[in-house]
Amino acid sequence: MQLNFKNALAAAMFAGMTLVGTSAFALTSIQMETDVEMVALKVANETVQGGYKLIKIADVKAMLDAKEDFVLIDAHPKWEFEMGYIDGAINFGFQSNMAGVWEKDVADGAPTQADYRKVLGPDLNKKIVIYCGFTKCGRSHNAAVWAKKLGYTNVYRAPGGITVWKDQGHPYKVVPNANHVYPNK
């Protein structure tokens, strides 16, 4: 059995319930439900605000396996992209928090909107799938919003990102010999 977040969480909840009793389980369940609700509302609000659609990581995997023609964008800054990305993804880094100003929203030396258009391609109706690290990460939201602002109509965000991709056991790439050290922020 592969140990992933769900299995670890279930084991921790069972252990807590066994050791402390059901009242601890209820508190944990309430806290978990509150956390899930906060994340769900954040993603729902961002999706409505951004005008894009959502897609599950399992569906992204199926599209890749079927060799569907689409653009896959990893919205991490270059240094994070190098630590793990989905094969076939193009890196175009965005910041986690959206300012609504291009120069403040992009990462990695402020590439231009023309650079982003070049990566996304000339077909404004082509399917574009954007991911980042995990559901709470705002980079994929920012990248999706900017794709919509630039006129692209078929934009999807995969909120689970590379974390869910890895948790599901899918292969991923890393940049060999890259300096995988977190920059000072």
pLDDT tens digits along 2-11 = 334 343 333 3
> Could you give the CA distance from residue 39 to residue 91 in angstroms, rounded to a whole number?
25
For the packed helices 113-120 and 139-149, what is the interaxial angle rounded to 10 degrees?
90
pLDDT at 185: 37
Spatial neighbors of 5 by CB under 8 A, at least 6 apart, are 167
Mean pLDDT, the chain, whole residue set: 82
| DSSP secondary structure letter of residue 157 | E
> Could you give the CA distance from residue 157 to residue 137 in angstroms, rounded to a whole number?
11
Tokens representing 86? 């989905």
pTM of the model: 0.77
Identity of the residue numbered 148? K
Per-residue pLDDT, averaged over 167-178, amounts to: 87
pLDDT at 26: 54
> Could you give the CA distance from residue 94 to residue 107 in angstroms, rounded to a whole number?
5
In contact, 172 and 85? CB cutoff 8 Å: yes
CATH class of the domain whose range is 52-167: alpha beta
3-state secondary structure 60-79: HHHHHHCCCCCEEEECCCHH
**45 sits in which H/E element:** helix 22-50
Q: How confident is the model at residue 28 (pLDDT cuts 50, 70, 90)?
A: confident
Per-residue pLDDT, averaged over 26-52, amounts to: 79
> Could you give the CA distance from residue 182 to residue 31 in angstroms, rounded to a whole number?
30
Tokens representing 43? 């993603």
Per-residue pLDDT, averaged over 60-71, amounts to: 97
pLDDT at 179: 63
Bridge-based pairing state of the strands 90-91 and 155-158: unpaired
